[in-house]
Amino acid sequence: MIGRFFHPVWLLMAASGMSCASPFLPRGEKSAIRNPKSATPSWRSAIRNWHSALRIPHSAILNVAHRGVRSLAPENTLAALRKALQVGADGWEVDVHPTRDGRLVVIHDDTIDRTTNARKVFPDRKPWNVSDFTLDEIRSLDAGSWFGRDDPFGQIKAGAVSADEVKSYVGEKVPTLDEVLRFTRESGRLLDIEIKQMPRRYPDVVEKVAAAVTAERMEEQIIISCFDHTCVARIKSLNRKIMAGPISNDRVADPARYVKSVVRGDAWFASGQVVGTGSLAFAGSNTVAASYKAADLNVDDLRAVRKAGIGMFVWTINDEATMRGLIEAGVTGIVTDFPQRLASLSR
């Protein structure tokens, strides 16, 4: 899977031909980590030509699981990452916040009550901000049971998640960034770390994330993203080997110049609305038939970004028709809650 979807926005690592058991992978599953130096000619061709949207084969699309496979498992947990590996994702996106004692944990919200049992365990700690709890306190919480209760994407009801799987999620812990880094390294996949700086701002969180990636020597497997675009330039100043890019939920004038020259980024993470998937022509309506053509997207922006040597990632895309249109348009990758759907399109 990695070979087929290899792309130089993130590079693969480790020793050629080696396969090793990992405490983070399902029992019996082995990591398959490759050495970029031993890449096949087709991989080298993909690296050399990746910046040209017109020359990249459609099969080169990167399948990025949003918070893991959050449609099939509790988001931002190791269970969700294991599921992403199982369904064929090329990598995963996770969110990072610091704890009160300065540790980095993987959780989306700046509060812990939505995806854990914090209200029950710590009833007097409202509003349950991540940064108001120590790592030990957060690790004492159940970050899995809520998924079975809420069925956020209706996949339990649809039969896509078994009763045994739901039961296995009970007691799942909020992982640390270090755990996610090790899981990613052992699985031979790619990782997008979104640094959370809104609505709460955290001093030194950028430095801590950069230090964690550097300490694990995982620069080639990682890309860092953030809505606070100043974080991108800061990451590059700390370690220029770490790739980084801004996240946008609004149109950007001349995005290629903005990402490359203003924030010094390597990639642009744009919402589907920004690139045009929300237009009537693309999405359709009761009166306008959906066309799902690349021409309905902001193609000039997409091509300018790709030709400038910048990765073009679109989030969060869950329906197959929109995925097909973005693949046709030549985006670098799609961030999705349903990587299982994207994997089926890319086979």
User: What residues are labeled active site?
Assistant: 66, 108
Structure tokens at 149: 């209760």
Provide long-range contacts, Cβ within 8 A and 24+ apart, for 224-227: 224/192, 224/193, 224/194, 224/195, 225/93, 225/192, 225/193, 225/194, 225/195, 225/267, 225/269, 226/194, 226/195, 226/196, 226/197, 227/197, 227/198
Give the β-pairing of 243-248 and 222-226: parallel
**3-state SS class at 225:** strand
Residue 342: which H helix or E strand, with range? helix 339-346
**3-state SS class at 93:** strand
Rounded to 5 degrees, φ, ψ at 167 are: -65, -35
Structure tokens at 82: 């294991």
**3-state SS class at 105:** strand
**3-state SS class at 172:** coil
Give the β-pairing of 91-98 and 190-195: parallel
Give yes or no for a contact between 3 and 32, defined as CB atoms under 8 angstroms apart: no
For 229-238, b/e burial (b = at least 16 CB within 10 A) is bebbbbbbeb
The rounded distance, in Å, linking the Cα atoms of 72 and 160 is: 7
